[in-house]
Amino acid sequence: MSGAAIEVRDLGYRVGRGAFEIRDLSLTVPTGAIYGFLGPNGSGKTTTIRLILGLAKQASGRIVVLGHEQPSEGPRVMARTGYVPERPHLYPSLTVGEQMDFHASFHARWDAARAAELVSQFGLIRGQRIGSLSKGETGKLMMLLALAQTPDLLVLDEPTDGLDPVVRRDVLMAVLEYVSQREATVFISSHLVHELERVCDWVGVMDRGRLVAELPMHTFKSGIKRLRVSEPPALLGDTPFVLLARETGDGSAESWLVRGWQPPMRQYFDGVGANLREVIDLDLEEGFVELLRSARQPRA
């Protein structure tokens, strides 16, 4: 495998005898990237994260994280990984300071000075009991614990879900500041598309246990278009773009959803006798929704 921070190949996993499964999942997270893992609730994002971290064992396939095989080398991975789970695992009877000291005892790379800075930056009080923290304060504490480990990899599972916009901004700014200082890799899952658009340079789209797409963020944002086509050909031949969906409109006009669009590709339509009426830009959320919709359509 390559020097990627996370590399998954042909991953298979089934939850008991239930219907949900992950099958033949492959993804690559480049070292130093901020990788946005998008998908609706129930798509398999958290299960994939647990498999990547060695918290669950795959039925098939191979996972390498920071150069170590999972789950056999899980302790080596976790020693270099900061993890913010979807559901916080904290002791409500402890104070913020006691929880920090407890967490630090398990991590040789704990940065006490950085932890103290984050306490001030996040407006936390060391003597306050965790059980009395608001949801936003709890989210900040979870991020503090992960960042103070000085990890090479940050894995964040819906870290800002349910938080107000001010807290979300504070948490994401702390992540970006850390990445700029340490050149760490971030794997962040969310269903809040616009939030990831601002911070990620790679994106993977998950749906129903499958990876629907994986590509650089700039390609995702600029390369997915909706085309209005009149006099469309019955047979497309070799298209220079990826046709995700083709829908009949009014009369002889059709709407095509394509990926990998570039302006010179207009020449394709002249070659097949079609008329490209319009190229419509999609924002990230529209592109995300259209990708899911096209992936769920039955194939002929």
Instruction: Give the count of domains, the chain.
Output: 2
Asked, for residue 263, whether it belongs to a domain, the answer is yes
Burial readout 63-89 (b: 16 or more C-beta within 10 A, e: otherwise): bbbbebebbeebebbbbbbbbbbeeee
Q: Compute the distance between CA of residue 115 and CA of residue 145 in angstroms, rounded to an integer.
A: 8
Is the same domain home to 143 and 15?
yes
Is the same domain home to 152 and 236?
no
φ, ψ (nearest 5 deg) of residue 112: -65, -35
Q: Compute the distance between CA of residue 37 and CA of residue 291 in angstroms, rounded to an integer.
A: 14
Domain boundary among 169, 192, 216: 216
The two three-digit tokens of residue 129, written as one number: 């009991």
Q: For residue 23, what is the enclosing H or E element?
A: strand 21-29
Q: Computed from CA positions of residues 231, 235, 237, 243, in that sequence, does the dihedral angle turn out positive or negative? A: positive
Asked, for residue 300, whether it belongs to a domain, the answer is no
Is the same domain home to 20 and 159?
yes
Asked, for residue 229, whether it belongs to a domain, the answer is yes
Is the same domain home to 202 and 238?
no
Asked, for residue 294, whether it belongs to a domain, the answer is no
Q: 69 forms bridges with which residues in the sheet?
A: 64
pLDDT at position 300 is: 45
CB 115 within 8 A of CB 135: no
Tens of pLDDT along the chain (300 residues) come to 457 999 999 999 987 776 789 999 999 999 999 999 999 888 999 999 999 999 999 999 999 999 999 999 999 999 999 999 988 889 999 999 999 999 999 999 999 999 999 999 999 999 999 999 999 999 999 999 999 999 999 999 999 888 888 988 899 999 999 999 998 999 999 877 887 888 899 999 999 899 998 989 988 888 889 999 999 988 888 999 989 888 886 667 899 999 889 999 999 999 999 999 999 988 778 888 888 887 777 654
Q: Compute the distance between CA of residue 154 and CA of residue 161 in angstroms, rounded to an integer.
A: 17
Is the same domain home to 50 and 95?
yes
Is the same domain home to 23 and 132?
yes
CB 118 within 8 A of CB 152: no
In 3D, which of 105, 20, 76 has the Cα closest to residue 115? Answer: 105
Is the same domain home to 31 and 79?
yes
Structural domain for 259, as ranges: 225-281
Is the same domain home to 10 and 136?
yes
In 3D, which of 291, 290, 292, 86 has the Cα closest to residue 189? Answer: 86
Is the same domain home to 172 and 116?
yes
Is the same domain home to 189 and 229?
no
Asked, for residue 93, whether it belongs to a domain, the answer is yes
Give one word for 170, left, alpha or beta, with left for phi > 0 and alpha for psi -120 to 50: alpha
Domain boundary among 163, 194, 216: 216
Is the same domain home to 164 and 251?
no
Residue 35: partners with Cβ closer than 8 Å, 6 or more residues away: 6, 29, 185, 186, 187, 188, 200, 201, 202, 203, 204
Asked, for residue 262, whether it belongs to a domain, the answer is yes
Domain boundary among 216, 235, 270: 216
In 3D, which of 82, 29, 95 has the Cα closest to residue 53? Answer: 82
Task: Report DSSP state, residue 40.
Answer: -
Task: Report DSSP state, residue 209.
Answer: T
Asked, for residue 295, whether it belongs to a domain, the answer is no
Q: Computed from CA positions of residues 133, 137, 143, 147, in that sequence, does the dihedral angle turn out positive or negative? A: negative
Residue 278: partners with Cβ closer than 8 Å, 6 or more residues away: 227, 228
In 3D, which of 112, 115, 160, 170 has the Cα closest to residue 135? Answer: 160
The two three-digit tokens of residue 35, written as one number: 């990788």
Q: What is the CATH number of the domain that holds 39?
A: 3.40.50.300
Asked, for residue 174, whether it belongs to a domain, the answer is yes
pLDDT at position 287 is: 82
Is the same domain home to 116 and 259?
no
